[in-house]
Structure 1
Amino acid sequence: MTKKLALSAAIVSGFAAFAPAQADEGQWQPHQLPQLRAELQRIGITIPAERLADLSRHPMSAIVSLDGCSASFVSPEGLVVTNHHCAYGAIQRNSTAEKNYIANGFLAKTRAEELPGGPTTRVYVTDKVENVTERVNGGLDKLTGKDRHAEVKKRIKALIADCETDKNYRCSVPAFHRGAEYYRIRQMMIKDVRLVYAPPESIGNYGGDIDNYEWPRHTGDYSFLRAYVGKDGKPADPSPDNVPYKSKDFLVVSAEGLKNGDPILLAGYPGRTSRYKLPVEIRYARDLSYPMMVADYQADLDAIAAATKGKENDVVRYASVVKSINNRMKKTQGLLDGFARKDIAAIKDKQDADFRTWYGKQPKSSPAMLAELDAAIAADMDLSDDEFAYGVATYSDLLKSARTLYRLALEKQKADADREPGFQERDIANIKARLSRLEQSFVSSVDQARYVAGLQRYVKLPTKAHPQWLDNLTPALADVPAMYQKTGLADTATRLAWMDKAPADFEQSADPFIKLAVRMHGVAMTLEERRKEVDGNLEKIIPQYMASVIAWKKSQGKPVYPDANSTLRVTYGTVSAYPGRDGITKGPFTTVEGILEKHTGKDPFDAPQALIDAVKAKRYGQFKDPVLGTVPVDFLSSADTTGGNSGSAVMNKRGELIGLNFDSTYESITKDWYFDRDITRAIHLDVRYMLWVMKEVDHADNLLKEMTIKYPQK
């Protein structure tokens, strides 16, 4: 079936002549876009580059973060569109076996029917970015190790405190170019976010994990949320008295469509890439780290599956957890497969050798710098093994909660400015939200099964990777059931009450998970101190290395942009086919007819009957593509994306919404480490399919009326 569908996709796309283009590398900070003016104009973008660099103006002012995903405002009433899988947590938290919004979808016809997104669902609107590199790195030349790390963190905390005088904003100071630059970023944090509409999983996740990272795709990966604020227009805690946020700017939704070769802009918050890492770091990931991660993901999934088998309520509670683990596992396996397909380490060897040759010829080159760099990276990889083992040995949500609570009690003994990041007063609300959220994705018997399985895996790890003293502290497998019977932490109110306890209360507690957290704290702190030492040395040497790498790349006229780090970025490209690993050049569009071809009546290829009927009746309406002769579902582009770009607005040359990014092809996964211009393709939802489903299948007429939609001219 797969080959047949691939050929079908190629034939369909053949209605518009195409040839695979090269991908467009670069996840650019908005302020860099004026430097790319000529390139943007070359591909056909008509929005001035200076406007794209201005976060206070359309369209960038409409782009938001969901803390792990991207989204955009699509109405002046705070309506936000993102991926189905980005809202999956909110969908799952409101679902039960009897009222299963995952399976059946959800649509609020009125504002009163909208459902709470959950205590950790947030909308972040970036409004200010400033370079603070000198304020972080200045005058630190003589400091190394944890002393340097402590000073960097102290300065960052001060910069954040100075920025957060208005409590409606959340500030951060992330590193760019592996610490060569730092920017302070201010974001308005909207805390009352509600679920408005999500199609059933048979549309929003059509094809499931089988089709994940594959092409052709037929997934309607979209959903809608709404941001609410107080009556004064400022962010407020969730309340029935809150009103929709009046978004100053929002994206017009264009149903006019695209064709092969058309330009696109993509804006969002990509998570992490590793394109500036050294060959030894690639080999560590390829040969050690990633294989262990894949095996661990699979073992955890097996434990959850066994513990939830035949228990529909438990399956619903862990649906979001399982989906997240599956996605991470397939991506990591895709990276391993990509490393096997192309020897990226060897490519990096050549680049590294060329760089070192160039560097050695520079007037102020330092062989000691390169030796120090290699030593710091070796120490980082060695510590990572111990940290992985510690994570496997603590595979319990209750234990994680206990550790967080005890650490909070200890940190609260310090002045706020001296606390570790994550435990300051600014973080208390987030800690409370995480502890509260657990009740929606926790079952004691399942957590117990995951913990036991984790302890069994820990024992099998190489002994040299076991953190010192940890073996003597982990419980015997036979003792674990009693821990779950005697703990009070499975109760949300009890967990939250521990937030106000003193360290002595923890140290005198009889709760088995509290006792274990106290006993293990020393091991955790030893690892943390080692991490601070390693990070301090990396923070000293990596910026020196990156400054030289940037100079080397500029000398060759190559693009210089920082690795993704969950901050606002813009990428661009064109609608484009690509050469698949099966040797077939695959066209840039799929259509609703492909849904019927894949339909088996069984999950994950079980399309809703209303959708099947609409396709068979050819009720395409205004969403029919004039070239394809039907409704497009998904399309490919050459844009540079990664995890975190899920939900990113895909815009046409005028800045109108024409798609949502949600995936990339399997061959493209290694772009996190090495950007291969020939095969890298991003997968996007075509908004015409979203609008068609809303009209013909789910009858979301209230939302269609709320958005500003530009239809094709008749």
Structure 2
Amino acid sequence: MKKITSILIAILILTFSQIKADEGMWIPLFLKKYNIEDMKKKGFKLTAEDIYSINKASMKDAVMIFGGGCTAEIISDRGLILTNHHCGYSSIQSHSSLEHDYLTNGFWAMSDKDELPNEGLTVTFLVRMEDVTSQVLNGVSDEMSYDEQEKIIAKNIEKVEGKAQKGNNYKISVKSFFYGNQYFLFVQKVYKDIRLVGAPPSSIGKFGGDTDNWMWPRHTGDFSLFRIYANENNEPAEYSENNVPYKPIKHFPVSIKGVKKNDFTMVFGYPGRTQEYLTSYAVDMIKNKINPHRINIRQNIIDIMSEDMEKDRAVRIKYASKYARVSNYWKKWIGENRGLEILNAVAKKEETEKQLTEWINKDEDRIAKYGNLLPDFKKLYSEYTPYKLAEEYFYEAIWRMESMKFSSKMASFIRNSEKDKDAEIEKIKKYGKKFFKDYNVSTDKKIFKTLLKLYYENAGSDFQPELMNMFKTFSHFDLDEETILNNYVDYYFENTFYLNEDNFFDFIEKYNYGSESNIKITETPAYNFFYDFVNVYYAKIKPNTEKYTSQINKKTKLYMRALMEANPEKNFYPDANSTLRVAYGKVDTYEPRDGVLYDYYTTLSGVIAKVNPEIYDYNVPDRLIELYNKKDYGKYAENGKMHVCFIASNHTTGGNSGSPVINGNGELIGVNFDRNWEGTMSDIMYNPDQCRNITLDIRYVLFIIDKFAGDKRLVEEMDIVE
């Protein structure tokens, strides 16, 4: 244990002592020791304690996890929070209907009583974080197998989390950094009554839609407003009419002074996942063997949804949120592959591995410790890839079928009804109500057929369930595959009663736990389809992906350590893992390709120039055009122009959506919402010359709230810095 600890301490001290701001997502606990002087040189005027402190109010107390995968920030002393429109999209959509189409028309609460509750939505604050590496690695030695090490680590983590437990409103977790070479404890506080306050029409909040997603120049007003409510003691509470607006200990002042090139910027948020230290074999698998299939599957779903949404306004409302979820990473994976190809990423990784091999071979101890690493990686990824591809097809194709998820709920319903029938009936009725609100059987049927065919043709012959034998069985009757598939799809939907709303609720109202009721469920084609595929996944796919992932993780832990030892001059930072991080850089332009220079900001004139009533993504409200024509921008304009977005060199990823973008004075200047397409490979390989985070200028946010929506009470409760 002492040997491991001493090596790790030496590595980590060496690593953090050479931090630069070119890239990276830095741990806020270490800012004072490793980052703050560099930040000040670049324009930051506050202290490390102003960003992260457990002894006084700091920026960390105004930044939170929004829902399950975004960031948000507090912008008033009454718990008003700002995040992205796309982060609040499902909440906005859940309140929308043909009568109250908030997606199309926007929503603005003109008083507290108009603010809308959102069941299940939470925000999570960091209370404190603590390095617990020594406790977690206590009793672990190099001589142990990987599985032995993991068992001890798991027990130690359980002990650490148990000692830190503080009550029902707190979330306690220990997370791994540097592939298991360092561990931190996180104590978080969760608030559960979060209400929708304001959202612009989608024609502003999603302007450019999926056409412009991940792209620069950008003109999207990607924001929404919510409010945290608490009990009379300012503590977390379930929704109640008696709850009151939360009183934060810290909120961000809002600057309308604007930005200029080379201004200091900082992004403070919860980046989800990066993989900066993958081997060439991993990058090759992702780029050449996995991403092309992911892209093709989602392209097929998008094509079907898009066609149906364009034909029917009701379908557009039902599938708006689903379409957004599917298209988000479809576009990202396309850009990621493009970026990796341009960077020649696999070859660069191979060069790194060549240099590492030369370093290893210069020392007998290194050969003994690291000599087999790269040959082992090559073998492991060769064997792992077929299982990984099958897993992707299970989740991207089969699990994306709406009926598959419903069947999963029905299976849980049967399983749990014996214990508490009444409670389970209420749960499944609630799920059914939500499901059918946003369900169109015709769309689902088309997607089901397409995805089933893609799985059959690409997932691999070893991973086909018994039902796929229908193609062999019925081919003997001179039926082609298309006819067989069409017949099965018709049979599937016509004979699964619970995919019909009336039949489902009629059955649930009469449900009595017992063989007759349960058999009616279990005899449906959809239910059997669900179990056939789940059985294949758990019998043939999951055990093998877990086996190879475990072996790869074991090697990667050593590989990470070898990279650090071999490159003492290189700056390493931990991969993102949905924990609070600081990224800092500057407002800057970039050249996406030879002869092209992109400026660092966009304006409302660019929005108007894109307007095309015939293209849904480029429609805007008449009110916005009217304000533009009158140049009625209030105090939010700069030299007669209404700035919309800007870019900077902060290293961000998914999860940073909604993150505050902060200037050198600690004031809010924008809301992070995207990356440029040329930089989407940054999760795997970062290029500071090309990678830019895209920020919604806070002045455009205020302009929309104040001048477009006329909800002046929201602006009045903010601390505006002019």
Cα distance 1:486–1:120, how it changes in 2: closer, same or farther (>3 A)?
closer
Q: Distance in 1 between matches of 2:289 and 2:47?
A: 46
Q: Which whole-Å CA distance do the structure 2 matches of 1:468 and 1:270 have between them?
A: 37
Q: Which has the higher contact order (CA 8 A, sep 6+)?
A: 1
What CA distance in whole angstroms lies between the structure 2 residues aligned with 1:378 and 1:455? Answer: 26
Q: Quick one: which amino acid aligns to residue 582 of structure 2?
A: V
Query: Partners in 2 of 1:192 and 1:235 — Cα distance?
Result: 8
Q: CA contact under 8 A between 1:439 and 1:492: conserved in structure 2?
A: no
How many residue pairs are counted as aligned between the two chains?
Answer: 671
Change (3 A) 1:573 1:394: closer
1:611 is aligned, of 598, 601, 624, to 624
Change (3 A) 1:409 1:547: farther
Shift of 1:575: 0.9
What does residue 120 of structure 2 align with?
120
Quick one: distance in 2 between partners of 1:188 and 1:494?
A: 42
Residue 144 of structure 1 and its aligned partner are, at CA, apart by 5.2
Give, in angstroms, the shift of residue 128 of structure 1: 2.1
Deviation at 1:583, TM superposition (A): 2.5
| Distance apart, 1:650 and its partner CA | 0.3
In the TM superposition, residue 468 of structure 1 has moved relative to its aligned partner by 7.0
- The range that moved more, 583-592 or 227-236, is 227-236
Q: Aligned partners of 1:567, 1:412: CA distance in 2, in Å?
A: 37
Structure 1 residue 274 displacement after superposition: 1.5
- On the 8 A contact 1:145/1:535 being kept in 2, the answer is no
Q: What is the aligned partner in structure 1 of residue 422 from structure 2?
A: none
Q: Is the 8 A contact 2:436 2:501 kept in 1?
A: no
Alpha-carbon displacement from aligned partner over 1:516-546 (angstroms, at most 9, x marks no partner):
4444443232233333323332343322221
Deviation at 1:52, TM superposition (A): 2.3
Report whether the alignment pairs 1:661 with 2:672: yes
State which drifts further: 272-281 or 476-485: 476-485
Compare 527-536 and 92-101 and name the one that shifted more.
Answer: 527-536
Query: Residue 99 of structure 1: SS of its match in structure 2?
Result: coil
Q: Distance in 2 between matches of 1:531 and 1:494?
A: 41
1:614 deviates by 1.9
Distance (Å, rounded) in 1 between the aligned partners of 2:501 and 2:360? 56
Change (3 A) 1:196 1:524: same
Q: Which residue of 2 aligns with 1:256?
A: 257
Alpha-carbon offset, residue 671 of structure 1: 1.2
Deviation of 1:308 (Å)? 4.6
Residue deviations 1:446-473 (CA, integer Å, cap 9, x gap): 3333222211211111534635768459
Please tell me whether the aligned partners of residues 308 and 316 of structure 2 are also in contact (alpha carbons under 8 angstroms).
no
Larger Cα-atom Rg: 2
What corresponds to 1:573 in structure 2?
Answer: 585
Tell me the amino acid that sits aligned with residue 714 of structure 2.
Answer: L
Aligned partners of 1:64 and 1:123 also within 8 Å: yes
Q: Deviation at 1:702?
A: 1.1
Unpaired runs of 5+ in structure 2? 1-19, 420-425, 472-484
Quote the Cα distance in structure 2 between the aligned partners of 1:46 and 1:438: 50
Q: Distance in 1 between matches of 2:527 and 2:328?
A: 32
TM-score when normalising by structure 2: 0.84
Within the candidate set 451, 454, 459, 1:457 is matched to 454
For the structure 1 residues 306 and 212, does the alpha-carbon distance in structure 2 shift closer, same or farther, using more than 3 Å as the test? Answer: closer
Per the normalisation by structure 1, the TM-score is 0.85
**Residue 644 of structure 2, aligned match among 612, 620, 633:** 633
* Distance change in 2, residues 1:135/1:646 (3 Å): same
One-letter amino acid of the structure 2 residue matched with residue 84 of structure 1: H
In the TM superposition, what are the counterparts of 1:532-571 in structure 2 within 5 Å?
Answer: 532-553=546-567, 555-556=568-569, 558-571=570-583
**Could you tell me which amino acid in structure 1 is paired with residue 404 of structure 2?**
L
> What's the CA shift string for 1:570-590, capped at 9, x where partnerless?
100111111123622121111
Question: Does 2:694 correspond to 1:683?
Answer: yes
Preserved contact between residue 389 and residue 465 of structure 1 (Cα < 8 Å): no
- What runs of 5+ residues in structure 1 fail to find an aligned partner? 1-21, 415-428
1:145 touches 1:534 (CA, 8 Å); kept in 2?
no
Q: Does 1:510 align with 2:514?
A: no
State the match for 1:132 in structure 2.
Answer: 132
- How far does the alpha carbon of each residue in 1:47-69 deviate from its partner, in whole angstroms, 9 at most, with x for none? 21243232663212111111211
List per-residue Cα deviations over 1:669-713 (Å, max 9, x = no partner): 1111111121111111111111122221111101001111112xx
Separation in structure 2 between the aligned mates of residue 528 and residue 239 of structure 1, nearest angstrom: 42
| 3-state SS in 1 of match to 2:86 | coil
Question: Which amino acid in the other structure matches residue 612 of structure 1?
Answer: I
Deviation of the 1:307 alpha carbon: 4.7
1:466 to 457, 463, 467: 463
2:281–2:377 contact (8 Å) kept in structure 1 = no
Instruction: Decide whether aligned partners of structure 1 residues 621 and 170 sit closer, same or farther in structure 2, where only a CA change above 3 A counts.
Output: same
1:635-685 residue CA offsets vs partner (Å, 9 max, x unmatched):
111111112111110001111100011112221111111111211111111
Task: Please tell me whether the aligned partners of residues 179 and 542 of structure 1 are also in contact (alpha carbons under 8 angstroms).
Answer: no
Question: Runs ≥4 in structure 1, deviation > 6 angstroms?
Answer: 145-148, 407-414, 429-436, 488-508
Distance 1:500-1:710 versus aligned 2 partners, 3 A rule: farther
Query: Secondary structure at the residue paired with 1:561?
Result: coil
Q: CA deviation at 1:477?
A: 2.9
Distance 2:138 2:387 in 1: 28
User: SS at 2:215's partner residue?
Assistant: coil
Say whether residues 1:403 and 2:408 are aligned partners.
yes
Give the alignment partner of residue 446 of structure 1, picking from 432, 443, 446. 443
| 1:335 maps onto 2:336 in alignment | yes
Q: Secondary structure of 1:604's match?
A: helix
Give me the CA root mean square deviation.
Answer: 3.5
Mean CA deviation greater in 102-111 or 181-190: 181-190
Moved more, 171-180 or 400-409: 400-409
1:233-275, CA deviations, whole angstroms, 9 ceiling, x for partnerless residues? 3222223222222221111111121211110111111122121
The aligned amino acid for 1:393 is I
SS, match of residue 546 in structure 1: helix
In structure 2, the CA distance between the partners of 1:338 and 1:494, relative to structure 1 (3 Å rule), is farther
- Quick one: distance in 2 between partners of 1:154 and 1:440? 44
Cα distance between partner residues in 2 of 1:642 and 1:495: 45
After superposition, give the CA deviation of every residue in 1:147-184 in whole Å (9 maximum; x if it has no partner): 76666556555655554451112233333223333323
d(CA) in 2 for partners of 1:378, 1:413: 46
Q: 1:29 to 1:237 in 2, by over 3 A?
A: same
Instruction: Tell me the alpha carbon deviations over residues 113-162 of structure 1, each in whole angstroms, 9 at most, x when there is no partner.
Output: 11223x33221111122233455455455665777666655655565555
Q: Deviations over 1:12-43 (max 9, x none)?
A: xxxxxxxxxx9830111112322012210110
- Give distance in 2, aligned partners of 1:499 and 1:151: 47
Quote how far apart the aligned CAs of 1:87 are. 0.8
Q: Is 1:599 paired with 2:611?
A: yes
Contact 2:255–2:721, Cα closer than 8 Å, also in 1? yes
Alignment partners' CA distance in 1, 2:301 and 2:714? 39
**Which residue in 2 is equivalent to 1:530?**
544
SS of 1:247's partner is coil
Q: For 1:290 and 1:645, how far apart are their aligned partners in 2?
A: 22
Counterparts of 1:676 and 1:594 in 2: how far apart (Å)?
Answer: 27
Secondary structure class of the residue paired with 2:283? helix
Q: Deviations over 1:380-425 (max 9, x none)?
A: 43421121232323432332344366479879999xxxxxxxxxxx
Cα 1:604/1:509, change in 2 over 3 Å: closer
Return the letter of the residue paired with 1:343.
N
| Equivalent position to 1:647, from 658, 665, 679 | 658
Task: Provide the residue aligned with 2:46 in structure 1.
Answer: 47
Give 1:14's aligned residue: none
Alignment of 1:383-398 (within 5 A): 383-391=387-395, 392-398=397-403
State the distance in 2 between where 1:121 and 1:266 align: 23
Q: Structure 1: how far apart are the matches of 2:44 and 2:565? A: 29
* Structure 2 residue matching 1:87: 3-state secondary structure: helix
Match in the other structure for 1:477: 489
Structure-2 residue corresponding to 1:224 = 225
- Indicate the residue corresponding to 2:112 in structure 1: 111
Identity %: 29
Corresponding residue for residue 37 of structure 2: 38
Instruction: Determine the C-alpha separation between the residues in 2 that align with 1:432 and 1:369.
Output: 53
Q: 1:622 aligns with which of 626, 635, 660?
A: 635
- Cα distance change on mapping 1:496 and 1:531 into 2, 3 Å: farther
User: CA–CA distance in 2 between the matches of 1:182 and 1:494?
Assistant: 52
